[in-house]
């Protein structure tokens, strides 16, 4: 005869484990990263006027980057807890447990770069460009804009590209990590 478990508050609390917390944290981080990177921004770009879109991104990205840093840091802590030999072998990046720690560290580094350096510089440049557009009475991409606007356009393009590449690198690292834990577990 088959034994049937009865769900109760006590049995639900018994299901909380470091592995379960890890999977939930990873799912949250990966889902958020994919949504922000490939869907939310594109929808907003197509829906909002450019200046409103820029203002939205300016408010959204710091929350996204800090959430990414916090979640990937927590995952790294849980990963280290689950792999007690990790710190003793930290200089052996070809070991699977160490490689995965480096992958999570890469996410932290790339999103920290965006949060604390590239992101703020990109926002400042964007707002400088908005201000200059008002002063010149022209959009940034119209013929006959000033040399100052052309310089801001170049700077913004470079910073936006750096930010996008750092974020894409974080998403790729998270994809690799997800494929790893899906295949080999925690």
Give me the DSSP letters along the chain: ----PPP-HHHHHTT--HHHHHHHHHHHHHHHHHHIIIIIHHHHHHHS-HHHHHHHHHHHHHHHHHHHHHHHHHHHHHHHHH-TTTGGGTT-TTSHHHHHHHHHHHHHHHHHHIIIIIHHHHHHHHHHHHHHHHHHTS-TTSTT--HHHHHHHHHHHHHHHHHHHHHHHHHHHHHHHHHHHHHH--
pLDDT confidence of 7, banded at 50, 70, 90?
confident
Q: What is the pLDDT of residue 140?
A: 93
Distance CA 37, CA 72 (A): 16
In a domain, 108, yes or no: yes
**Inside any domain, residue 171:** yes
10 belongs to a structural domain: no
- In total, how many domains does the chain have? 1
Question: What is the overall mean pLDDT for the chain?
Answer: 95
Whether residue 13 is predicted with pLDDT greater than 80 in this model: the reply is no
Asked if the structure places residue 30 within a domain, the reply is yes
Percent of the chain residues topping a pLDDT of 70: 99
pLDDT in tens, 18-27: 899 999 999 9
| Residue 138 maps to a domain | yes
Cα 72 to chain centroid distance, Å, stands at 9
Across 29-63, b (16+ Cβ under 10 Å) vs e yields bbebbeebbeebbeeeeeeeeeeeebbbbbeebbe
pLDDT at 162 over 80: yes
The whole-number pLDDT of residue 44 equals: 96
Task: Give a yes or no: residue 71 inside a domain.
Answer: yes
Q: What integer pLDDT is reported at residue 138 of this predicted model?
A: 93
Read off the pLDDT of residues 174-184 as tens digits, 9 standing for 90 and up: 999 999 999 99
Domain boundaries, position 163: 18-184
């Amino acid at each position: 005869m088959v034994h049937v478990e009865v769900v109760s508050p006590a049995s639900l609390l018994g299901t909380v484990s470091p592995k379960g917390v890890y999977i939930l944290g990873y799912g949250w981080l990966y889902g958020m990263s994919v949504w922000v990177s490939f869907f939310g921004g594109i929808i907003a770009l197509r829906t909002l006027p450019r200046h409103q879109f820029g203002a939205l991104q300016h408010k959204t990205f710091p929350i996204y980057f800090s959430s990414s840093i916090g979640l990937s840091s927590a995952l790294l802590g849980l990963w280290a807890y689950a792999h007690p030999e990790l710190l003793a072998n930290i200089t052996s990046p070809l070991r699977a447990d160490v490689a995965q720690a480096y992958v999570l560290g890469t996410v932290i580094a790339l999103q920290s770069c965006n949060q604390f350096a590239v992101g703020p510089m990109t926002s400042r440049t964007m707002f400088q460009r908005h201000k200059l557009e008002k002063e010149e009475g022209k959009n940034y991409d119209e013929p006959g804009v000033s040399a100052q606007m052309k310089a801001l356009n170049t700077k913004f393009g470079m910073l936006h590209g750096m930010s996008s590449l750092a974020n894409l690198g974080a998403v790729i690292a998270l994809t690799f990590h997800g494929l790893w834990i899906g295949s080999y577990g925690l």
